[in-house]
Amino acid sequence: MVAENKFDADIARDFHHVWHPCTQHKDYETASPILVERAEGIYFYDRQGKSYLDAIASWWVNLFGHNHPRLNAALTRQLENMAHVMFAGVTHQPAIDLADSLTALSPPELEKVFFSDNGSTAVEVALKMSLQYWQEKGETRKTRFVYLNGGYHGETLGALSVCGLEIFRGKFEQVLARHLPVEGPDCFRCPYGLRRESCDAECFEPMEKTLRENHDTIAGVIVEPLVQGAAGMTMYPPVYLKKLQAACEPLAIHIIFDEVAVAFGRTGSLFVCAAHGLRPTFLCLSKGITSGYLPLSATLTTDEIYSAFYGAPRKLFIHSHSYSANPLACAVANETLRMLTENNFLESLQPKIAALRECGKQFDGIAGEFRQTGMIAALELVEKKRERFPSEKRIGYQIFLEGLKRGLFLRPLGDVVYFMPPLVITEEEIAVMMNTAHDCINTVLQRG
Amino acid sequence: MVAENKFDADIARDFHHVWHPCTQHKDYETASPILVERAEGIYFYDRQGKSYLDAIASWWVNLFGHNHPRLNAALTRQLENMAHVMFAGVTHQPAIDLADSLTALSPPELEKVFFSDNGSTAVEVALKMSLQYWQEKGETRKTRFVYLNGGYHGETLGALSVCGLEIFRGKFEQVLARHLPVEGPDCFRCPYGLRRESCDAECFEPMEKTLRENHDTIAGVIVEPLVQGAAGMTMYPPVYLKKLQAACEPLAIHIIFDEVAVAFGRTGSLFVCAAHGLRPTFLCLSKGITSGYLPLSATLTTDEIYSAFYGAPRKLFIHSHSYSANPLACAVANETLRMLTENNFLESLQPKIAALRECGKQFDGIAGEFRQTGMIAALELVEKKRERFPSEKRIGYQIFLEGLKRGLFLRPLGDVVYFMPPLVITEEEIAVMMNTAHDCINTVLQRG
């Protein structure tokens, strides 16, 4: 690669020195990454000024669009006081306000907030708190977690040990702790022949059996409520979660809700648990918490858990990240929560959710399924009936490339094309986004 | 706790809703956390305006002091363009510049940079890259890591599996992968009766034996070069690292340098590896990378490692964090690197390092040992000769409380009182810091 101008020089430097996440760099030989220079609203712009509609909200994080004046102001206001101080022996108002708001807005049982930096660490904190809780209580055999096939909870090795997707864990099996995988909901290919709109989560049966037979060694169960993101935006009904709660509580099994991807308005409510009257023991949050500005995460839990760590000097929860409760990130998160809860913002999503559904109809006959939960929509493309395309066809990757040509940033998960735009997208922009995606899909499928 | 004013109300809200890292909250019944409102230079200030000298650089992160005009400007300048975009299929100049600078300044073999959010994830990335490298090469038995007793590399469960400190891992043993601990250097209590200034790292023998006997199942070795931070700022000579390199290279064992705590001028050089002509396979960086502003980390590695992941679609390294290469954090990191490399900044540390050493002399006869590596100094307090105080005496915690009274923020590790101030501290401020610490220690030790 010979650099002929600054653009080429920068792309060459990227190629020589940057290892991107979840990227096969050989693909950059034929299609360079987009060199983004600025971002505004639901678009980002490359150096030539070409715009891209950020249809997946920059990995599901952005709620209010890029470069939002209120979020920018919250950040610069905090910067005038302090960027950061450590968070042991020290506290600060941005973190106190955020913890107060999060506990007020989430189910009443969740009273304590532990801050870390990303979704993986939020999950690691929940796993470790659950484990230590049982150790402190003398229930030393309760050391296993139950997780769903298809579940994804981050990629640090603890989070990966409760991941139910071979593609993420396969190369690392030999160092992963052995937990308990369970067949979870698979509504598109329901083995019971039922429909998610009307079933009673008959597929809860294997979970019920696993919990009943192993409860004395189970610390907790971890789930992504309603939407399993990395599995391909698979969606299942809340009745599954109600059954999970009913089964876990009498057996003294913790419930970990990983709402990293689905909280903060993404499904139409602030938190899935609160919207459905559910009481998880732990609630993991990240991504949208700063509306796509800065890394921050939170693990919420109950006073019952907290109290098991309260008392003797050595009972404490020993876990720390240097930038825990970073004041800049907390300040942006506080502004994000204000914007989510003011001016009927969540109610204002309803027409957009309806527009997304309406636009989805154009994929009848093209996609195996169009599915939607709030502001998340997904198309599962299949070869015939419900059979997957051979992976070497790279259907999803081809659609990604077609999207780029048309100024639409998609990033299909395998052959599932999904939409998770910033919540501030308009109904008109939803139509543009989905019509353009339609073009891309048609082009690729007709190519064969 | 009844709130009588805004200060008390905020502290009460903190007590009710915030779970601080590495904190026994019962201690807050008698000593509230400091409610920090702003920070400037080497000080932070509570709501009453009382100042605290940040003697540990807010958990070892701050280099240039709080609220630095150049760092603030770098952040706000980047904010005008974009706070964040995803980092797969997309790139941006702040990340390209940072990767370019890091690879230029570190040993020449390190050519690729993978970004994540904190030290733990930087280590998890190195562990996972090493594991997958051997899988891709068909060396499927190479799945174990060697680590030192006393080593600390973060607290996510993968990082914790290579931690050599019982206090961090004890409650979680049942879910930690089994790796290979090795007795490491212990210079203060050297079992060979030698001195770190003149020895030949005779203590390398158990490491040499472990590597020789197990190399066919060893993926890599992980170390904190020169200073084992969480172990109590124990310090050992570079000859140990030279022997490690000489032993690992012919046995095809990766070397992971965890320089999260020691890089970016902390020991007097930018990177320990570069300063000593060493060639680690992986270099983990975080903390000082943004001079204490924002969470960011980097894992550097070689083209040899990278090339094993290059090619077929499924060979890629599947690991991602949503805020990977956050542009705001990268912009601050770029400014940090400029400041570290301009105007002979590192040379300007030499008189401060000398002042730290000079001031350390006042602890002769009080401390079991005063030790120093560059801008890190530590006092190990002992009961008599080299025996530790009983932990129930909480000597370190009492010194912490005495420091607060005097406006000095220390945070002893057990009975090791250490100093890791922002690098911009002056020689006069070093004297104040250490004289005040002397007072605190005397007060506590005389109390008995």
The domain boundary residue, chosen from B298, B313, B341: B341
Domain check: are A314 and A395 in the same one? no
Interatomic CA distance for residues A366 and A347, integer angstroms: 31
Of the candidates A211, A78, A234, the one whose C-alpha atom is nearest the C-alpha of residue A146 is A211
Interatomic CA distance for residues A209 and A126, integer angstroms: 24
Of A313-317, B180-184, B382-386, the range with the highest mean pLDDT is B180-184
Helix or strand or coil: residue B152? coil
- pLDDT at residue B1 in the model: 43
Interatomic CA distance for residues B129 and B280, integer angstroms: 14
Q: Is residue B3, in this structure, part of any structural domain at all?
A: no
How many beta carbons lie within 10 A of that of residue B6, not counting itself? 11
Which residues fall within 8 angstroms of residue B359, CB to CB, at 6 or more apart?
B430, B431, B434, B435
Evaluate if residue B115 carries a pLDDT over 80.
yes
The domain boundary residue, chosen from A341, A366, A394: A341
* Cβ within 8 Å, pair B89-A23: yes
Q: Is B236 in the A-facing interface, judged by CB distances under 8 Å?
A: no
Domain check: are A44 and A185 in the same one? no
Query: Mean pLDDT in chain A?
Result: 96
* Cβ within 8 Å, pair A175-B322: no
Domain check: are A236 and A325 in the same one? yes
Report residue B149: phi and psi, to 5°: -60, 135
* Cβ within 8 Å, pair B82-A38: yes
Q: What is the pLDDT of residues A295-308, one digit of tens each?
A: 999 999 999 999 99
Q: What's the structural domain count of chain A?
A: 2
Residue ranges of B 399-418 with Cβ closer than 8 A to chain A? 400, 409, 411
Of the candidates B35, B11, B24, B14, the one whose C-alpha atom is nearest the C-alpha of residue B394 is B24
- Counting residues of chain B whose pLDDT is more than 90, the rounded percentage is 95
Of the candidates A286, A270, A337, A112, the one whose C-alpha atom is nearest the C-alpha of residue B13 is A112
User: Residue A161: its chain B contacts at CB < 8 A?
Assistant: 157, 175
Q: What is the pLDDT of residues A181-225, one digit of tens each?
A: 999 999 999 999 999 999 999 999 999 999 999 999 999 999 999
Evaluate if residue A2 carries a pLDDT over 60.
no
- pLDDT at residue B232 in the model: 97
pLDDT band at residue B6 using 50, 70 and 90 as cut-offs: confident
Q: Is residue A7, in this structure, part of any structural domain at all?
A: no
Q: Is B78 in the A-facing interface, judged by CB distances under 8 Å?
A: no
Evaluate if residue B400 carries a pLDDT over 80.
yes
Domain check: are B54 and B136 in the same one? no
Decide: A144 and A219 in contact? Cβ < 8 Å: yes
- pLDDT at residue B4 in the model: 57
Q: What is the pLDDT of residues B162-204, one digit of tens each?
A: 999 999 999 999 999 999 999 999 999 999 999 999 999 999 9
Domain check: are A251 and A137 in the same one? yes
Q: How far is CA A319 from CA A124, A160, B25, in A?
A: 10, 18, 14
Report residue B385: phi and psi, to 5°: 50, -115
Domain check: are A52 and A181 in the same one? no
- pLDDT at residue A182 in the model: 98
Instruction: Check the CA dihedral A434-A333-A66-A257 and report its sign.
Output: negative
Which residues fall within 8 angstroms of residue A29, CB to CB, at 6 or more apart?
none
Decide: B30 and B57 in contact? Cβ < 8 Å: no
How many beta carbons lie within 10 A of that of residue B387, not counting itself? 10
Q: What is the pLDDT of residues B262-320, one digit of tens each?
A: 999 999 999 999 999 999 999 999 999 999 999 999 999 999 999 999 999 889 999 99
Domain check: are B358 and B336 in the same one? no
User: Residue A313: its chain B contacts at CB < 8 A?
Assistant: 24, 27, 391-392, 394, 397
Mean pLDDT over residues B232-250, rounded? 98
Of the candidates A302, A389, A291, A388, the one whose C-alpha atom is nearest the C-alpha of residue A345 is A291
Q: Is residue A5, in this structure, part of any structural domain at all?
A: no
- Strands of the sheet containing B369-373, edge to edge, are B369-373, B376-380, B416-419
Q: What is the pLDDT of residues A125-134, one digit of tens each?
A: 999 999 999 9
Q: Is B192 in the A-facing interface, judged by CB distances under 8 Å?
A: no
Evaluate if residue B391 carries a pLDDT over 50.
yes
- pLDDT at residue B120 in the model: 98
Domain check: are B196 and B307 in the same one? yes
Q: Is residue B13, in this structure, part of any structural domain at all?
A: no
Q: Is residue A28, in this structure, part of any structural domain at all?
A: no
Q: Is B138 in the A-facing interface, judged by CB distances under 8 Å?
A: no
Decide: A336 and A83 in contact? Cβ < 8 Å: no
* Cβ within 8 Å, pair B21-A168: no
The domain boundary residue, chosen from A310, A341, A372: A341
Nearest CB to A72 within list B60, B79, B321? B79
Domain check: are A85 and A42 in the same one? no
Lowest mean pLDDT among A27-31, A323-327, B60-64: A27-31
Q: Is B152 in the A-facing interface, judged by CB distances under 8 Å?
A: no
Evaluate if residue A448 carries a pLDDT over 90.
no
Place of tokens 């920070």: B39
Q: Is residue B238, in this structure, part of any structural domain at all?
A: yes
How many beta carbons lie within 10 A of that of residue A216, not counting itself? 10
User: Residue A102: its chain B contacts at CB < 8 A?
Assistant: 17
Q: What is the CATH number of the domain that holds B360?
A: 3.90.1150.10
Decide: A283 and A300 in contact? Cβ < 8 Å: yes
Q: What is the pLDDT of residues A225-284, one digit of tens each?
A: 999 999 999 999 999 999 999 999 999 999 999 999 999 999 999 999 999 999 999 999
Q: What is the pLDDT of residues A79-93, one digit of tens each?
A: 999 999 999 999 999
Q: Is residue A13, in this structure, part of any structural domain at all?
A: no
**More reliable by pLDDT, B284 or A3:** B284
- pLDDT at residue B107 in the model: 98
Mean pLDDT over residues B107-119, rounded? 98
Evaluate if residue A424 carries a pLDDT over 50.
yes
pLDDT band at residue B3 using 50, 70 and 90 as cut-offs: very low
Domain check: are B231 and B368 in the same one? no
User: Residue B34: its chain A contacts at CB < 8 A?
Assistant: 89-91
Q: Is residue A147, in this structure, part of any structural domain at all?
A: yes
Evaluate if residue A402 carries a pLDDT over 70.
yes
Instruction: Check the CA dihedral A111-A114-A115-A121 and report its sign.
Output: negative
- pLDDT at residue A28 in the model: 93
Domain check: are A81 and A158 in the same one? yes
- pLDDT at residue A4 in the model: 57
Q: What is the CATH number of the domain that holds A102?
A: 3.40.640.10
What is the reported pTM? 0.98
- Counting residues of chain B whose pLDDT is more than 70, the rounded percentage is 99
Evaluate if residue A175 carries a pLDDT over 90.
yes
Nearest CB to A306 within list B19, B161, B321? B19
Q: Are strands A376-380 and A369-373 parallel, antiparallel or unpaired?
A: antiparallel
- pLDDT at residue A77 in the model: 98
Domain check: are A313 and A405 in the same one? no
Full domain range(s) for residue A39: 34-67+345-447
